[in-house]
Amino acid sequence: MKRLSHLSPNECVLLTAARLLDGRIVWRGRDGQWFDHVAQAACLTAEESEAALEEASTQAARQGVMGVYPVVARKGEPPQPVSMKEHIRAFGPTVHPEFSYVPQSEASS
């Protein structure tokens, strides 16, 4: 895993976790809320991520998430996680689209 202290100028840190209710992957937004889609994740600097990670970890159970941790991503709309594992967590399984997960917010549009 890439060290957070070695981010390039086009990289940022996202916070991710698993939602307790259904095990879905969630991403933390700027306001501290957890979202289904990586596009809503806050793109943080390494320094910002330290405080945000501490806060998110402390509030995890109250917010209905577990296993909070940082992910290095390339900046963009949406941010693109650098590692293959995190890319798959962000954008769904590497299987036929029929079997991929569509967040509720996108399914109802």
Q: Which tens digit of pLDDT belongs to each residue from 32-88?
A: 999 999 999 999 999 999 999 999 999 999 999 999 999 999 999 999 999 888 988
Six-digit token string for 26 = 């969630």
Please check whether residue 64 is in contact with residue 21, taking contact to mean a CB–CB distance below 8 angstroms: yes
Half-sphere exposure of 109 (CA within 13 A, CB side): 5
pLDDT of residue 1: 43
DSSP state of 21: T
Q: Is 61 helix (H, G, I), strand (E, B) or coil?
A: coil
Please check whether residue 42 is in contact with residue 28, taking contact to mean a CB–CB distance below 8 angstroms: yes
- pTM of the predicted protein model: 0.80
Phi, psi of 39 (to 5 degrees): -60, -20
| Dihedral over Cα of 56, 59, 64, 67: its sign | positive
